[in-house]
Amino acid sequence: MTSGLDALFITGTPVLALAPMQDVTDRAFWELMTRYGGADLYYTEYFRVYPTSRLDKPILDSIIRNPTGRPVVAQMIGNDIPSLVRSGKELQKHPAAAIDLNLGCPAPVVYRKCAGGGLLRDLPRVDGILGALREAITGKFTVKTRLGFDDERTLEVLLPLFRKHAVDLVTVHGRTVLQMYRGGICHDLIALACRELSCPVIANGNISTPSDAAEALASTGAAGLMIGRGAVRNPWIFSQIREHLDKKPVSLPTGRDVLAYVRDLYETVCTPDVPDPKQVQKIKKYANFLGEGIGPEFLHDVRRVTTKTEFFALCERHLDHDRPMTLKPSSAAY
């Protein structure tokens, strides 16, 4: 297994990663992102791991046929140690820069099964999983976590476990599992992780603009940033952050640029032979994130369209203009 992680972090330039979002940030979406500037590091959607599981072929394809030209991290989610060890060993046979354990997914359907963020309620099991995976994975082993399940100070107990098992990279989303995506980010606790861990730490959560990125880096001391919803909403964000950090003028898309992105997105994620209503349901997964940056009227109306014609008529009504757009979300949740 080859690793490009070391090369990314030795430059001292903040590493920008695209967050894993299940059924959203797939191989096709990665390829689209590269046309808009792209991230430095990509994480796969999670491989669901359990006793009878097999590596998900479409997700595995994103590693084997990586279209980005950048390092890819393979992420696993599960709680059964033998199964995680088996899957970790299998993934090492493929060109992933690292194998990652998900300790942060806040979806109730996941955490109720004591997987993802649900594992943060069972730290002895986390300890056992980390130890087994560290022994099994000969290359880079990384973790993506939240602060805790319902108590943000759980992170203070997690950090010694990450040190104990020599985790190579930790991404910290600065909320608890039960917070989901509500409320602010605890930059002070991400900063604590940066101080106490010898490995690089990536900060995750609420990065929607270049100024958000600069503030997160300054207040945490993180070696990089992970962006998910913000990149779906604004595919230019990685390039904009680089411009801002280089003290260059930040390039803003016009409404028509955003409209062109929506058309690209539709062509990328929607399968032509699928009935129109199902295609529209698929694009709504993305349009809900995009709508946060367009405005409440768009967000309200896009949830009610049922055909491709209605969808693009709505997009044209809101985006057929030459005014620059920050695509910064206005929702109180951000």
CA torsion 22-23-28-29 (nearest 10°) is: -60
Helix axes 123-136 and 155-164, enclosed angle (nearest 10)? 20
Asked if 158 contacts 192 with a C-beta cutoff of 8 angstroms, the reply is no
Asked if 267 contacts 298 with a C-beta cutoff of 8 angstroms, the reply is no
Record the tokens describing residue 49, joined without a space: 């791991």
**pLDDT averaged per 10 residues, the chain (length 334):** 75 94 95 96 98 97 96 98 98 97 96 96 98 97 98 97 98 97 95 98 96 97 97 98 97 98 94 83 92 94 94 97 94 39
DSSP 63-110: HHT--SSS-EEEEEE---HHHHHHHHHHHTTS--SEEEEEE----HHH
* 194 belongs to the catalytic site: no
Q: How far apart are CA 152 and CA 157, in angstroms?
A: 10
Among 326, 190, 171, CA closest to 258: 326
Q: Tell me the sheet residues that pair with 76.
A: 47, 101
Active-site entry in 105, 186, 194, 270: 105
Record the tokens describing residue 9, joined without a space: 């972090």
Kindly report the length of the chain. Answer: 334
Record the tokens describing residue 127, joined without a space: 């300890």
The DSSP code for 118 is: G
> What pLDDT score was predicted for residue 326?
96
Q: How far apart are CA 63 and CA 48, in angstroms?
A: 16
What pTM, to 2 d.p., does this model score?
0.94
Fill in the amino acid letter for 159.
L
User: Sign of the CA dihedral 330, 45, 210, 212?
Assistant: positive
Record the tokens describing residue 97, joined without a space: 């820069």
Q: How far apart are CA 183 and CA 204, in angstroms?
A: 14
Q: How far apart are CA 255 and CA 257, in angstroms?
A: 5
Helix axes 210-220 and 237-245, enclosed angle (nearest 10)? 60
Asked if 225 contacts 216 with a C-beta cutoff of 8 angstroms, the reply is yes
Fill in the amino acid letter for 253.
P
User: Sign of the CA dihedral 239, 240, 245, 248?
Assistant: positive
Angle (nearest 5°) at CA 107 between 282 and 305: 25
Asked if 20 contacts 45 with a C-beta cutoff of 8 angstroms, the reply is yes
> What pLDDT score was predicted for residue 331?
54
**331 SS3 class:** coil
CB atoms near residue 103 (< 10 Å)? 28
The DSSP code for 250 is: P
